[in-house]
Structure 1
Amino acid sequence: MKKINRTRLKSLIMSVFSFIFFLVFLQLHSNAGAQGSKTAVSLEDTIKAKQYNKEGILAGRLGDFELSRDYFEKLKEIREIQYGANSHRLAGTLINIGIQNKNLGDYDKAIDDYLEAEKLYIREYSSEYPRLGFVYGNLSTIYKIKGDYLKSYEYSVNALRLFSKEPDHYYSGMILSQAGIAESLFSLKRYEEAIKLCEEHMGQVTDDVKYYYSSLLARIYSELGEIDLAEQYYHETFALQKKTGGINSYDLGIEYTDYVKFLLSIKKYDDIPRYNDLSEEIIAKYFTKKSIQYASVMLNYADYYSLRYSEASYLSDFNLKKQDDFYKALDFYQKSIIAATGTFENTDPKSNPTVEQSVSELQLLEILKKKAQCFSALGDLKLNMNKKNEAVDYYKSGLDAMELAIELVHQIRTGFVSEDSRLFLSENQQSTFVEAVNLSYKLYKQTGDESYVAKGFELTEKSKSASFLAAVKDSRAKQFGGIPDSLQSREDVLKINISNYKQMLYEESQQESPDSIKLALYSSKVFYYSEKYTQLVQLLEDSFPNYYSFKYANEVANLDEIRNRIKNHDAIVEYLIDEPKEGQYSGGLFRFVITNKEFSFSRTPIDSTFMNRIEFVYQFLTSSNYQYTTKADYQHYAGSAYELYRDLFANLNQDLEGKNLVVIPDDKLSYIPFDALLYEQPDTSVMNFRNLPYLIKKHSISYTYSTTLLFEYFEQKKKADHGLLAFAPSYVNDNRDYTEVAEFRAGLLPLQAVDKEVEYVSEFMSGDIFKDSLAQETRFKQLAKDYDVLHLAMHTIMNDTLPMYSKLAFAKPTADEKEDDGWLNTSEIYNMQLNARMAVLSACNTGSGKMQKGEGVMSLARGFLYAGCPSIIMTLWEVEDESGAEIMRSFYRFLSNGKNKADALRLAKLEHIENADPLKAHPHFWLAYVAVGNTSPLFMGKDLYFIGIVVVIILALVVDQLRRRKKKIRNG
């Protein structure tokens, strides 16, 4: 989190550069094009306009941003009279007003100012007008402050692109944009690219910009653990800043603040007081005690007392000294919070502001997290001192602060339009949720109060697939929020355009010699349509309050609701991993087990051994060398699978007896099927895969991304008119050169058993099957929405770098096919609207993909869930053709007999194990298939039909007897 604050401070420096340059530019061009004014203006107003502009510039340079904004607002009023309210000549003044609103912390108002300026420029000129670079450069700064680093990067890139159209005229703008790009790359953790950009431009700029690159390199090398290089660049930055601004310059004060954070990160505590005092002395000259800059200084003091080592001869002395340090730290954390908020003044560390009082949400989030961690550490210390009541009190205060931090995470997420930005936030804030759950567990352990189980579960749910949940909520909100079809259609068109141009941009960038003209074109198109999409989202939120409230409600399923809705024979097992960090501390595995009768909350300490077991089991199951498995590998697998079972299901045998398990995994656990775990330590003296005590022999197992998604969004009644839609391309003579993936550069290899597989499926379900060259992407897109079950047996091409461009490989397009290319991307699936109750993705690796912390595996299957299909059968690795076809045949047979999806899959796997030869009993052959989402049956079982017939006969007999009796009475 430390880089968030650094980024904010550096952004302010860049905005000052931008502000000064822009004002100079306006001065040079203020008289350009003076002809054609709409209204005659008095000489007095013209003089006033020049005076307001001059005073606004001066006040801005002095740091009186409020006064500066007032002057520019007055200037805007005069220019509206001169040129009209829609004149592009107002754009420059709007940018200046936006800069002052940004400096005053009113970021949303600043964005509105910049977007209004953008609109005026585009109306008069075009979206390629170079001076739009000023608008986009300032928007980049705003989004950097708000933590949307991806959007910030995109604005900086487009500012540079526009300035580059007239490089001689906008050279300074290009310099600033290049620096902004480097800053964004750092924030996005693309360190190598940022280093390259810094080194490329450092020799081309003057010292007053060079020190910015030097400072950025210091931060990058600090993050990379290159301590000596970081130290070198920090001191080089100090020298440059003293040379250009003197020993008391504003920039030097900011840099000292940054340097203290570096010293804290390397635990070099002796030098910290001196540099922090210097930082405070300089910052106090330029800012009040109600500023984000002063808040950063106070935060450094707090971190110093919270983290530094205490020297003591005896344990009691150590505890007292450490306790005293924690008290000091809490006082400074509170001072930092007061400085970082608008009206909050309470000096009691146990009190917290509201979300609305924050100036910078990201900065307040960082301070609250650290304060909560300090409370937690103080609570642990009190327990060691046998003061349980005080410990509980501090844990409560820590949880209060952490819950506010989580509310801020949600607030920040709601401001992000791009899913990529939301995913980046989820990854970086996962530790916030883990710490909050940890505090809930500590409180539950010390008090036995079950309300902390409910709280821990709620926080765990909020940590799971938040971006996915937000996207699903958005889709649902449009249905109930009164959004007109025309606006929804407009949104669909924009999303399709963004997706298409992003794909074209990606594919061109993968070429051996990318076409720079195409890259620039595609990049500008992505930016253009993304801007339009952002504006549309804003329109929807402003115009449809029901849509807004539903979309942004931060609600998840609570424990009582789940227990009321869960079936008698089901049990939910949800995990959250506090991953152990190398050389720092052991981690923890949190586990919630929920049935309709009881629940439990536990934490198991884990270390690197636990993570290594997961890695080994995954590698063992997915290895293509399964036919060469040695006895040593077999024994290693058996041992690891049993130890993992003990870690994951310790003390649960009785509680889960006879239950169907619904598993919500976390982190790397998402890569392994729990069927593979062994519930007993087996005899491994002889290698026999068939007889191992797999967990599947005791339970059917399904998976979901979160309990909230399962119960609130993965339920669907039959809507489609038709039954089965199956596709099975054979790829015979398919020589498509898919150069992204080396495996496919010689074309797609034929799949021998897919024809057989879809024929097997048709034995149990009626519908339409498209094989070989008929298995076209276009046909699938046209038909999919009308079918109840989708079955796709084909190649999958995974893209772990950009998961949205993983794809299903349909048949090679025919000569007359011009609409589609035969590759169905995940991003395209997201834009579909499906009515199917189940999709079977019997392709290779449809459930694998990039692990996204806080979100889970970014797989193709995820796209089908988002598109409206509540139940997925997917694969975790490449499936052997013949075995896969037989398992699918058995699966559909059991499904047609009325079994639910998880049971049908379990029985199909067990049948395979029972009938397999020694080689094909290897888990690689049968474990890849897993069920995700809603597992309800698709068909009524034959036994139910029989019962139904019996009931009908009995009712008929009863009715007949009653009729006979009435007739007899009448006759009597």
Structure 2
Amino acid sequence: MADRQDNGNDLRGEGISLLKNNIPVIEEFRSRFDDERGRALFLDNLTYYYVLLINELYADKDYAAMFNLAEKVKSRSFIDMLSTKASGIEEDLPADLKDVLSRKKEIETVFRDSLWVFFNTESSSRFGTLLNEYSELYQKKEELQPDLQTMISEETIKLEDFQDLISDGTAVIEFFIGRNAFYTFLVTKTGISVSRSKSSPRDIDSLVTKILTDINLFPNKRGAFIELQKIMNRNDETLDSANLARMWYASDADRTIQLSLFQLYKTMISPEQDKALTDFGRVIIIPHGFLHEMPFAALVTSVGGLDLTKKNHIARPRYWIEDKEILTLPSASSLPFLLKSGGKEEGSILIVGNPIYPNTKFSPLPFAEKEANEISRHFEKEKTLLLIGQEATETMIKGSASNYDIVHFATHGIYEEDALKSHLMLTKNSTDDGYLRASEIFTMKLNANLVVLSACLSGRVGAFGGMKYLTTDDLTGLTRALLYA
């Protein structure tokens, strides 16, 4: 029996060693893809190996190695974006280089979409042939275009370096969602703990979806309630709009959202981690996958925080934001970039409110203009550039945004599945079309320490290939474009 156990341990050790040795090979191969979409989908197909190793590291309580690997698989392409600029435009490339890149892209598509080649022995010969051709094409491309920066110099951050950047009184919660496991890292300046949720990622995704749906649909309940009262009391001549409003506010509205918010917190955060958080006033959240949609500040962290009195028309629980300062980061590896000072005069602000929208289907936002005017009153006039209506042109904003410490947008924001096409609506002119796209923001140079997006869906991210989210977190949206700029 002991020999059998020893053999099992030996095999497990060999398996872990094999996984560790193969991940650098995957990373090297991934770096040779020219386009972000290819890198994202290729790595997402192979995250199975990362997750296998992460599961084993959790069993061994090797939390530092686990954090480093989780950050690598989540943040690799985002760090690619932060550390390099996009390479040139293909229209000006020589014909022979275009041919090389075209064939290289064809082979990358096969590698990206055909994970089975690694397991199907009948296809191993074809795979080997393609791999040899791909290596030759890669070398030829390097010869024809030696200045192209395809090899990334920046690495994802290691745990000890990340902890050096965390201030006292701050705790960081980073989530990692595998195909069959949901992990929560709690990182402080001096320690780390990891918990694995008893719920599956699918169940947690369903709970998040329920919360978001309930929040979005709640405003419709008022209209439904009023229409029902009109039908039930159609002979009551005193039933005017004021009385209907009073009846609505006197009713007991749906109180289940707060229970879902409490359930989600307890599902993601272990009791030990919850207890440890009492010592910290600031919590930084690093989401993953579907959690990017979740408003973490609205979570309810204890039974005592629930509103069970029914004294309020709408349940008024104690939200997490009332006890902690809640911040979010796209990844741990982005922190060094974000800590770099913008260097502009402190307190200078560019405010954009209610432009003349290029798409006439969108109505003006008078309260966005009011918001912009109200914010401007809190800053020194000589340090403020307020752009309202016709003045809020895309051209003006592109040309002046780099001069301000704070940039505030109060306008329509549009989310696209092709995330680089997500955009803010501004005023158009003869130079620009009024759509400030994420792809354009990537080319801007911002020096701001704070950018506020007060726009519909502006904080959302997009996913490649029609998929909702990739395990690799290789997502690009307006928020990330601004971080990059």
Partners of 1:386 and 1:595 in 2: CA distance: 41
In structure 2, the CA distance between the partners of 1:541 and 1:679, relative to structure 1 (3 Å rule), is farther
Query: 2:276 corresponds to which residue?
Result: 655
Partners of 2:10 and 2:207 in 1: CA distance: 38
Once the two structures are superposed, the pairs formed by residues 500-899 of structure 1 within 5 Å of their partners are: 538=142, 542=146, 551-552=152-153, 555-579=155-179, 587-607=180-200, 608-623=202-217, 625=219, 628=222, 634-651=254-271, 652-657=273-278, 658-681=280-303, 682-684=306-308, 686=310, 689=314, 691-710=316-335, 712-720=336-344, 723-731=348-356, 736-737=358-359, 747-765=361-379, 766-800=383-417, 802-811=418-427, 813=428, 817-850=429-462, 851-853=468-470, 854-855=472-473, 857-867=475-485
**Structure 1 letter corresponding to 2:473:** E
Post-superposition Cα deviations, 1:618-675, rounded to whole Å, max 9, x if no partner, equal: 1122337355398998333122111111111221232111331111111111110111
**How far 1:539 sits from its partner (Å)?**
6.5
**How far 1:401 sits from its partner (Å)?**
1.9
**How far 1:729 sits from its partner (Å)?**
2.6
Whether contact under 8 Å (1:398, 1:439) holds in the other structure is no
Partners of 2:414 and 2:395 in 1: CA distance: 18
In structure 2, the CA distance between the partners of 1:543 and 1:753, relative to structure 1 (3 Å rule), is closer
Partners of 1:540 and 1:439 in 2: CA distance: 43
TM-score normalised to structure 1 length: 0.39
The answer to which structure has the higher helix fraction is 1
In structure 2, the CA distance between the partners of 1:760 and 1:539, relative to structure 1 (3 Å rule), is farther
**Structure 1 letter corresponding to 2:301:** Y
Query: 1:393 corresponds to which residue?
Result: 10
Whether contact under 8 Å (1:830, 1:864) holds in the other structure is yes
Partners of 1:386 and 1:756 in 2: CA distance: 76
Partners of 2:270 and 2:299 in 1: CA distance: 13
Post-superposition Cα deviations, 1:241-265, rounded to whole Å, max 9, x if no partner, equal: xxxxxxxxxxxxxxxxxxxxxxxxx
Report which structure shows greater RCO (CA 8 Å, sep ≥6).
Answer: 2
In structure 2, the CA distance between the partners of 1:665 and 1:718, relative to structure 1 (3 Å rule), is closer
Given candidates 467, 481, 490, the residue that maps to 2:77 is: 467
**Structure 1 letter corresponding to 2:432:** D
How many residues align structurally?
405
**How far 1:852 sits from its partner (Å)?**
3.3
Whether contact under 8 Å (1:848, 1:857) holds in the other structure is no
Whether contact under 8 Å (2:355, 2:425) holds in the other structure is no
**Computing the radius of gyration over CA atoms, which structure comes out larger, 1 or 2?**
1
What SS does structure 1 have at the residue aligned with 2:284?
strand
**How far 1:405 sits from its partner (Å)?**
3.0
Partners of 1:570 and 1:421 in 2: CA distance: 36
**How far 1:439 sits from its partner (Å)?**
1.4
Query: 1:182 corresponds to which residue?
Result: none
In structure 2, the CA distance between the partners of 1:560 and 1:637, relative to structure 1 (3 Å rule), is same
Partners of 1:414 and 1:460 in 2: CA distance: 18
Partners of 1:662 and 1:386 in 2: CA distance: 47
In structure 2, the CA distance between the partners of 1:698 and 1:474, relative to structure 1 (3 Å rule), is same
Partners of 2:325 and 2:43 in 1: CA distance: 31
Partners of 1:665 and 1:632 in 2: CA distance: 34
**Structure 1 letter corresponding to 2:206:** N
Once the two structures are superposed, the pairs formed by residues 476-487 of structure 1 within 5 Å of their partners are: none
Any stretches of 5+ residues in structure 2 without a counterpart? Answer: 106-137, 226-250, 463-467
What SS does structure 1 have at the residue aligned with 2:198?
strand
Partners of 1:453 and 1:537 in 2: CA distance: 40
Partners of 2:5 and 2:185 in 1: CA distance: 25
Whether contact under 8 Å (1:578, 1:589) holds in the other structure is yes
Partners of 2:442 and 2:398 in 1: CA distance: 12
Any stretches of 5+ residues in structure 1 without a counterpart? Answer: 1-381, 445-451, 476-487, 499-523, 580-586, 738-745, 868-972
Partners of 1:856 and 1:635 in 2: CA distance: 36
**How far 1:730 sits from its partner (Å)?**
4.3
Post-superposition Cα deviations, 1:315-338, rounded to whole Å, max 9, x if no partner, equal: xxxxxxxxxxxxxxxxxxxxxxxx
Partners of 1:859 and 1:627 in 2: CA distance: 31
**How far 1:840 sits from its partner (Å)?**
0.7
In structure 2, the CA distance between the partners of 1:685 and 1:858, relative to structure 1 (3 Å rule), is farther
Partners of 1:618 and 1:600 in 2: CA distance: 29
In structure 2, the CA distance between the partners of 1:831 and 1:437, relative to structure 1 (3 Å rule), is same
Query: 1:456 corresponds to which residue?
Result: 66
What SS does structure 2 have at the residue aligned with 1:398?
helix
Partners of 2:44 and 2:284 in 1: CA distance: 24
**Structure 2 letter corresponding to 1:562:** F
TM-score normalised to structure 2 length: 0.75
In structure 2, the CA distance between the partners of 1:832 and 1:619, relative to structure 1 (3 Å rule), is same
Query: 1:516 corresponds to which residue?
Result: none
Partners of 2:253 and 2:7 in 1: CA distance: 51
